[in-house]
Each structure stands twice: as C-alpha cells, then as structure tokens.
Chains A and B, each alone.
Chain A
Amino acid sequence: KAGVTQTPRYLIKTRGQQVTLSCSPISGHRSVSWYQQTPGQGLQFLFEYFSETQRNKGNFPGRFSGRQFSNSRSEMNVSTLELGDSALYLCASSLAWGQGREQYFGPGTRLTVT
C-alpha cells in the first residue's frame, strides 16, 4: 500500500507570495493532519481534517488555511508568505478521527521563503 505522498517536495517562494501544498493520504485513510517543523519551534500542529471538515486547529495566524476534498486529499495554503514560514511541512494521515489514532507521515514539503 502506498504511503502518504506530498507534493511538491521542495518549493522556493518570495516573501508576500502565496503557496499551496498538497497531501494524498494512504488509501482508505480519511483523516489528515498538518504540522510545521522548524529548527527553532520544532514540530507544531497546524490543523486536522476529517470528512472534509476542520476538526482541530493549532495556534497559527489566519494566513494558514487548509481544506480536505471528498477523496480525503488535503491541501494547505499559506498566503502573504513571511521569511519565518520557511519550514518543513508534514502531512499525516489516519484511518479515522478520534483519540490518538496512529498517524502516518509523508516525507514533507520543504518550503523556503526568500
């Protein structure tokens, strides 16, 4: 069974631009979560989706948004990019939404903002 896939793997953007990252969960998984990983802040939860609905949101500004499609694929969008948005963005999928279900992570999208 194929794992979680994230596209693109690497991205370079300029400050002020916007970016969209894509995540395809493991086949049959219906929950998708997003995390930001930086050297300074570590791994931080962005949001999670289940059945096309955002179920939980981390402490990030409104510039960070996401959505989930009927096939469980998810996208996250960052508008008005700032230098501090440079990070590895990780997507994780789970079979369903609930208490501490196992999550399987993709390889991440490395975003560099210049």
Chain B
Amino acid sequence: AQSVTQPDIHITVSEGASLELRCNYSYGATPYLFWYVQSPGQGLQLLLKYFSGDTLVQGIKGFEAEFKRSQSSFNLRKPSVHWSDAAEYFCAVGGILTGGGNKLTFGTGTQLKVEL
C-alpha cells in the first residue's frame, strides 16, 4: 500500500548531539517530499522540501534532509541539536501520486526530546 513511514515514535538526544529522523515512502515513483515541525499547541511549520534535483536539501533552523531513491528515504538531519528543537516532526508526501493538488499525506510523526 502507498504510505509514508516514520519508524521512530520517540527519540531522545542530548543538546549538542547530532540528530537523524527517518522517513520512508512507498509509492510507485518519487513523490514530492516535505518535513514539518510542530511545537506544542502550534500549527505545522515547513522545514524543507524536495521536488527534484540535488538530493541534499537545506532547510530552516539548520536542518537538512537527504533524498535516497534506492532506499525510498528522506531522512532529516541536524549536526547539533538545541533544546528549542524539542517538538514533533512530520514527514509528508505530496503531488499527483498522493491525490494531486496540494494534498499532503503525513507520516505518524517523531517526538523529539532534548536532554540538557
């Protein structure tokens, strides 16, 4: 079945440590790929997106993501995590493969906790 999967429900890292959040998709071709972040009581903020081209995408707040076609993955990374990065992170897919228009299909999210 077509889906987007975030295997890690919770991740805890120490402040200053590196971070990698996993995202895998299962579609017949490469959809448009997005990462969003949601802080408690807030809406979703777009961190970065991949449509085509360079497989390493830079986003806001020091985040980057790497698209790997062979692994159907779009993992989010940050070299050094700050306490303010504690939030829930959602991988999402869009485009014609997911129904077209601007519709997004979201993963189940990864809750990031940062230890001081």
Give me the interface of A with B, judged by CB distance under 8 Å. Answer: 4, 31, 33, 35, 42-45, 48, 50, 55-56, 58, 90, 92, 94, 97-108
Q: A42-B109, A43-B90 are in contact. Are A103 and B95 (CB under 8 A)?
A: no
Instruction: Give the distance to chain A from B34, nearest Cβ to Cβ, in Å.
Output: 8
Contact A45 B103 (CB under 8 A): yes
B44 CB contacts on chain A under 8 angstroms: 90, 92, 105
A108 CA / B106 CA spacing, docked (Å): 16
Instruction: Give the distance to chain A from B81, nearest Cβ to Cβ, in Å.
Output: 23
Interface Cβ pair total, 8 Å cutoff: 72
Give me the interface of B with A, judged by CB distance under 8 Å. Answer: 31-32, 34, 36, 41-46, 49, 51, 90, 92, 94-96, 99-109
Closest to A107 in B: B43
Instruction: Give the distance to chain A from B53, nearest Cβ to Cβ, in Å.
Output: 14
Nearest first, the 7 A-B pairs at minimum CB distance are A100-B32, A105-B43, A100-B94, A43-B106, A105-B44, A100-B95, A56-B101
B49 CB contacts on chain A under 8 angstroms: 100, 102
Q: A42-B109, A102-B49 are in contact. Are A94 and B43 (CB under 8 A)?
A: no
A101 CB contacts on chain B under 8 angstroms: 102
Closest to A96 in B: B102
Residue in contact with A99 in the complex, picked from B32, B34, B36, B108, CB distance below 8 Å: B32
Instruction: Give the distance to chain A from B44, nearest Cβ to Cβ, in Å.
Output: 4
B94 CB contacts on chain A under 8 angstroms: 99-100
Q: Summarize A's interface: helix, strand, loop or mixed.
A: strand
Contact B101 A104 (CB under 8 A): no
Contact A56 B99 (CB under 8 A): yes
Instruction: Give the distance to chain B from A104, nearest Cβ to Cβ, in Å.
Output: 7
Q: A99-B32, A99-B95, A100-B32 are in contact. Are A56 and B45 (CB under 8 A)?
A: no
Q: A105-B43, A107-B43 are in contact. Are A94 and B102 (CB under 8 A)?
A: yes
A58 CB contacts on chain B under 8 angstroms: 103
Contact B43 A100 (CB under 8 A): no
Contact B42 A48 (CB under 8 A): no
Contact A56 B103 (CB under 8 A): yes
Contact B46 A100 (CB under 8 A): no
A48 CB contacts on chain B under 8 angstroms: 101-103
